[in-house]
Amino acid sequence: EDQVTQSPEALRLQEGESSSLNCSYTVSGLRGLFWYRQDPGKGPEFLFTLYSAGEEKEKERLKATLTKKESFLHITAPKPEDSATYLCAFTPPGGGNKLTFGTGTQLKVEL
Amino acid sequence: NAGVTQTPKFQVLKTGQSMTLQCAQDMNHEYMSWYRQDPGMGLRLIHYSVGAGITDQGEVPNGYNVSRSTTEDFPLRLLLAAPSQTSVYFCASRDRDDSPLHFGNGTRLTVT
């Protein structure tokens, strides 16, 4: 069964302390790997799509990378406003509407 | 720029009652879907639609019905509410099957 696992479940950082979140997947030939940010009481907000191994995308302090087995979300010099739950998801081979989500990493950035 | 709009934001039901969660999108997306989010379980797909008049089951469809009479609207019906349906429900849409989903802000449902 196609699966996605995110780690760590929770992460506490000091402001300016860079780190990475991991998303491991078992599906082969995925048609897209997505990163979302979710704030409390809100729906997930799209951040990045990665389609092939070696691809990288950047936005402000965030950079997403993709290998054949996992994706990383690198957070450089985080600020308190980066605190949120970060979700990854993938579209399996054959596509369709069945996006499979991980359970997320809850990030808290403290002053 | 409304995107995906869900109503209501909060709802409390008694066991056995029925209700409809509303979802509308103004992006002319063909794909729409309903997810539920529970602590420690991640987002799980309930039902989805690839266009008006076409719906299909997701991972956890039991106890829920959907219909898609227009491109814009995709309501989710709970027929006989049960405490196990206490959850946060998200509607989402996308314009093709490898593009990102756009989510609404959810409906928090409590069944007592």
Q: Which residues of A60-71 are buried (b: 16+ CB within 10 A; e: fewer)?
A: eebbbbbeeebb
CA distance A100 to chain B (A): 8
For residue range B94-107, list pLDDT tens digits in order: 988 778 899 999 99
For residue range A37-48, list pLDDT tens digits in order: 999 999 999 999
Using pLDDT thresholds of 50, 70 and 90, give the confidence band for residue A109: very high
Chain A positions touching B45 (Cβ under 8 A) are: 97-99
B34 interfacial to chain A (CB closer than 8 Å) = no
Range picked from A31-35, A90-94, B15-19 for highest mean pLDDT: B15-19
Chain B positions touching A46 (Cβ under 8 A) are: 100-102
CA distance B60 to chain A (A): 12
> Does the N-terminal peptide bond of residue B75 adopt cis geometry, omega within 30 degrees of 0?
no
Ordered DSSP codes for A78-104: --GGG-EEEEEEEEPTT-TT--EE---
Secondary structure of residue A24 in the 3-state scheme: strand
